[in-house]
Amino acid sequence: QRSEAEVVMISVSSYACQRRTSLINHNAVLTDALSLLPHNAELNEDEGRGLAFRRAAAVLKFLPEPVTTTTPLRGLPCLGEHSLRVIEDILQDGASREVESTKRSERFKALKVLNGIFGVGVKTADRWIRAGIRYLQPLQGSGETLSRAQRAGLRYYDDLNQPVSRAEADAVGEIVEKAAVSVLPGARMTLIGGFRRGKLTGHDVDFLLTHPEEGREEGLMPKVVSRLESEGFLLYQKTTRNSYLESEDGPARSSSSMDRFQKCFSIFKLSRGEEGGAEQTGNGESLTPSGQEAWRAVRVDLVVSPVSQSAFALLGWTGSKLFEREMRRWARREKAMSLSSHALYDTRQRRYLRASSEEEIFALLGLEFIPPSERNA
């Protein structure tokens, strides 16, 4: 009979993109605790350490059973001394002193509130905290100059911190698809992000738009956005060129393809109750019979991709973020390739590798295909 340690050690790759991570997490108590620590590490501008905690949590998420002792964990990848100490404390004492004192700290509490504002990143939150701003009320009276995004984030703070349900995601999908097809017949919409991975709730809803004929998708985003705007569905929107690409290390890509890759970060006005119905009351003040407001604000991300890049866009926008990160690490370190949401570049052959499906991309990278529902690392 094999020991527990052996069974576990045989099957755990250090790359999350080689592991099948479903939504069933047998170690949520431990991963919840570990996931607080990256927050803290990143706040102290220690991104490497933050990533280490994320990787450790991802290994625990993958395990087929609840962990009861740290013995079988020794020898697993990504679990460093620090993570093991936190796990051991929780298993022995029911809580980790480090995690509990983090949770109690004023700094952490303030970070959670301020970081929960749409448009506020860790750096801004940190600056505000150092200026003595801890909560929403003081921020509003502080004289800090807020961006348009941050003002919208404050206005819809409660709604945006309320998880989005699958029914709401589908309702938004119907609205977006109708708008896309009406401004560009034949346009295709795909649900991406966490909901494509099977999550039951999300912090937003993400959609990929494309058209089967290359080039027809050009200019689609502004058209969709103004259609949605004229129909009264948008409380906020910011359309940008894809700057995500530029921040990645990789070979320079032709600017023509970059110009076409557009995304829109938006806040939708979604009517309550009759999800699925795309009807808009037009009266923001009206209440439902139960006394709720008749609509709520929902964060929605849209991205438009030319069909030639749509497999890469689909893969890159399905997540999880750690899974994506690990795929790029695998590509770079093990295959000397550069993967982005646009393309796969082989640095030895000095050429781009084409792919028209996610399956092909995994194959080009020498990876076993992992379906979206098992990318929840």
Asked, as a colleague might, if the bond just before 320 is cis with ω within 30 of 0, I would say yes
Q: How far apart are CA 373 and CA 365, in angstroms?
A: 20
Residue whose CB is less far from ligand TTP, 42 or 206:
206
Q: Is 173 in the site for ligand TTP (CB under 6 A)?
A: no
The residues that are catalytic are 204, 206, 301
Q: Is 319 in the site for ligand TTP (CB under 6 A)?
A: yes
- Give least dist CB 287 to ligand TTP, A: 28
Half-sphere exposure of 103 (CA within 13 A, CB side): 11
Long-range contacts of 31-36 (CB under 8 A, 24+ apart): 31/57, 31/60, 31/61, 33/86, 33/90, 33/96, 33/99, 34/60, 34/83, 34/86, 34/87, 36/99, 36/102, 36/103, 36/108
* Contact of residue 316 among Mn ion, ligand TTP, none (CB under 5-8 Å per partner type): ligand TTP
Identify whether the C-beta of residue 275 lies closer than 8 Å to the C-beta of residue 298.
no
Among 88, 144, 214, 301, binds Mn ion (CB under 5 A): 301
Q: Is 193 in the site for Mn ion (CB under 5 A)?
A: yes
Residue whose CB is less far from Mn ion, 194 or 250:
194
Classify 198 in phi/psi space as left (phi over 0), alpha (psi -120 to 50) or beta.
left
* Contact of residue 173 among ligand TTP, Mn ion, none (CB under 5-8 Å per partner type): none
Identify whether the C-beta of residue 230 lies closer than 8 Å to the C-beta of residue 132.
no
* Contact of residue 280 among ligand TTP, Mn ion, none (CB under 5-8 Å per partner type): none
Q: How far apart are CA 322 and CA 375, in angstroms?
A: 9
- Give least dist CB 164 to Mn ion, A: 8
Q: Is 168 in the site for Mn ion (CB under 5 A)?
A: no
Q: Which residue has the tokens 């989005």?
A: 164
Binding mask 215-254 for Mn ion (x = CB under 5 A): ----------------------------------------
Paired tokens of 225: 């956005």
Residue whose CB is less far from ligand TTP, 72 or 316:
316
Among 72, 153, 250, 316, binds ligand TTP (CB under 6 A): 316
Q: Is 112 in the site for ligand TTP (CB under 6 A)?
A: no
Of the candidates 20, 61, 14, 16, which has an alpha carbon nearest to the alpha carbon of residue 372? Answer: 20
Q: Which residues bind Mn ion (CB under 5 A)?
A: 22, 24, 193-194, 202, 204, 206, 301
